[in-house]
Amino acid sequence: MLATLKDMSPRGRRTLVRWTAFGTLGCILFAQTANWLLFRKLGQPALGLSIFSGTIIPLMLAGPLFFYLTLKLRELAIANHRLMEAATTDSLTGCLNRGAFAAHVEASLASSPVSRGDGSGALLVIDADRFKRINDRFGHGNGDEALRLMASAIRSAIRGEDVVGRLGGEEFAVYLNGPCDAGAIAGRVRRAVEALRFRPNGTPWQLTASIGCVRFDAPRPFSELYRIADDLLYQAKRSGRNRVVAADAMAALGPEPYVAAG
């Protein structure tokens, strides 16, 4: 209980005080009204005693009870929030996990107009290059550190409204929602990863990432966008890694070939 009070925000403490005060006051008013109706015909001494007891007893019982219940409700809210975070967040990198990321993108696309016409949406799929070598040579602990560094680099290169997810293993994704130059943002992400200083067990190791970037100007299913971006990612891998390959969704789905941007 003391730990909950210590960790509670000022707003939470104000809520605790309000619920305790108003709950206790409500109990006092109810007790006073009930006592007045029951004892008003018994004379002034009995009525005065009933009013006194109708004030003291609620203060002694209702005050602590409302305080305790409000505090427990606060603890329950905090626990539910932590469970929600655990269910949606990748514990290693702090990014959304695959399910939460896909759900976020689907919800965003579902709330978009049928046709934007401004080319403002994009999905990036980012994969660490030759990541298995890190785990094999330096161990999975250093591999985890590389992933944390990559997640931090990705977040540093995108806008505040963009969303990052870890899709699994060494694969990340970024959803760009709103006016932007998707190719330029993807390039910033690639350079941010390349600029990382990673020294597993004191040995300098160059981290790089390959990126597939699909732009779209109308809402499409997440699975469709991911398939295109994943194909573009493997084009980047086959082209030598540490590069960006981008395309418009319409061109990728139509007879035209992918448009690549290194």
- Whether residue 103 sits in one domain with residue 208: yes
- Whether residue 208 sits in one domain with residue 170: yes
Euclidean distance between CA atoms 69 and 186, whole angstroms: 50
- Whether residue 63 sits in one domain with residue 10: yes
Q: Which domain holds residue 18?
A: 2-87
- Whether residue 145 sits in one domain with residue 61: no
- Whether residue 124 sits in one domain with residue 179: yes
Q: What is the mean pLDDT of each run of 10 residues along the chain (262 residues)?
A: 60 74 78 71 67 71 72 66 66 93 89 52 96 96 97 96 94 90 95 97 96 88 93 95 90 46 42
Q: What is the pLDDT of residue 85?
A: 56
Q: What is the pLDDT of residue 15?
A: 75
- Whether residue 150 sits in one domain with residue 63: no
Question: One-letter amino acid identity for 64?
Answer: P
List 85, 170, 194, 256, catalytic entry: 170
Q: Is residue 93 part of a domain?
A: no
Q: What is the pLDDT of residue 259?
A: 38
Query: Domain tally for the chain?
Result: 2
Active site residue 170: yes
- DSSP state, 96? B
Contact present, 124 and 173 (Cβ < 8 Å)? yes
Contact present, 103 and 87 (Cβ < 8 Å)? no
Contact present, 146 and 123 (Cβ < 8 Å)? no
- Whether residue 249 sits in one domain with residue 230: yes
Helices (H), the chain: 2-7, 10-39, 44-88, 98-110, 131-138, 140-157, 182-194, 222-238, 249-253
Domain end position, chosen among 60, 87, 114: 87
